[in-house]
Amino acid sequence: MSANRIIIAGGSGFIGRALTLDFLARGYEVVILTRSPRTRADAAREVAWDGRTPGEWCQWLESARAVINLTGKNINCPHTPANLRDLIASRENSVKILAETIVRLNVPPTVWVQASATGFYGDTGDRICDETSPVGSNALATICQEWEAAFQTAKLTATRRVILRIGFVLGRDGGALPVLRRITQFFLGGTAGSGKQFISWIHLDDLVRLFGTAVENADYAGTYNAVAPNPVTNAQFMRELRRVLRRPWSPPAPVFGVKLGARLMGSDPALALISSRCVSRRLKHSGFTFQYFNLPEALINLV
């Protein structure tokens, strides 16, 4: 067994793919827990699990350096009662089975880095939220609260624990940016709703460095907002995206238009209309430095 091994549960997705490349490049062994393992061209290994019951996958956690858990049904779906149940269950179940596995190991992983989301704070409006702010009261906040509660109640004494409440991740090959880019290129990149709702974004490269730091720096423990220091409003975000893509002003989408668009795209309007104005007091104090501090540089780099 290897003290150099990083286990990435749910590592086949958008964030996990970037983390895998980074950890491999830095000489780690990477094991991805996935429901659909494939043979890979790189040195990472995909191991089958179902995200809720024990199996042969458990042995890979023995003596691992870190467990990173990104597992969860994608939030980009209509938030019907049935989907909300699946959104919570896929997250809670994965946390519970990882915790149950870790307590049985002879040598548990040094650190467990658990994904959560800035949705924890609910619809923040203009209020600035940091890690000390209370949980919100909408459906996304409930998902995050239950997700984190499963993690916090796990009885693990020998494993350092970190929660990253991740904001809106900006990357080239996944997440919402490629969709926004496409609609903006088709001259539909107007503001959504009032445009006053905030977006707490983070460049994927900074998020990857933050996961790496959380694994390697033993001072990191507890909860951090994984967001760049300067959140922007939806109107500012769309204006900047149009500028970078050299598109003219586009008509705003009223709330009913956002709802219709979300329905046509199999998404949920809350993702575009809810305000999330978050900063990270704890990352600032920890001395974490962002490569992408302001939105314009991040968008120029990505699009």
Ligand X SMILES: NC(=O)c1ccc[n+]([C@@H]2O[C@H](COP(=O)([O-])OP(=O)(O)OC[C@H]3O[C@@H](n4cnc5c(N)ncnc54)[C@H](OP(=O)(O)O)[C@@H]3O)[C@@H](O)[C@H]2O)c1
Q: Which of residues 65-104 bind ligand X (CB under 6 A)?
A: 70-75, 90, 94
> For ligand X, which is the closer residue by CB, 212 or 250?
212
Q: By CB under 6 A, which span of 104-112, 152-160, 162-170, 246-254 interacts with ligand X?
A: 162-170
Q: By CB under 6 A, which span of 53-61, 163-171, 270-278, 286-294 interacts with ligand X?
A: 163-171
> For ligand X, which is the closer residue by CB, 74 or 294?
74
Q: How far apart are alpha carbons 91 and 52 in whole angstroms?
A: 9
From 12, 114, 145, 225, residue interacting with ligand X (rule: CB under 6 A) = 12
Does 208 interact with ligand X (rule: CB under 6 A)? no
* Number of helices followed by number of strands (H, E) in the chain: 10, 11
Q: What does the DSSP 8-state code read for residue 21?
A: H
From 6, 28, 51, 57, residue interacting with ligand X (rule: CB under 6 A) = 51
Q: By CB under 6 A, which span of 31-39, 182-190, 254-262, 282-290 interacts with ligand X?
A: 31-39
Does 168 interact with ligand X (rule: CB under 6 A)? yes
Residue 21 C-beta: closest distance to ligand X, Å:
13
Helix, strand, coil fractions of the chain, as percent rounded to 5: 40, 15, 45
Buried b (16+ CB within 10 A) or exposed e, 92-125: bbbbbbbbebbeebeebbbbbbbbbbbbbbbbbe
From 13, 122, 189, 212, residue interacting with ligand X (rule: CB under 6 A) = 13
Q: How far apart are alpha carbons 121 and 261 in whole angstroms?
A: 25
Q: Which of residues 120-139 bind ligand X (CB under 6 A)?
A: none
Closest C-alpha to 44, from 62, 68, 19: 19
Does 177 interact with ligand X (rule: CB under 6 A)? no
Q: What angle do CA 185, 188, 189 make, to 5 degrees?
A: 80
Three-state DSSP at 45 gives strand
Binding site for ligand X (CB under 6 A): 10, 12-16, 34-36, 51, 70-75, 90, 94, 115, 117, 166, 168-169, 174-175
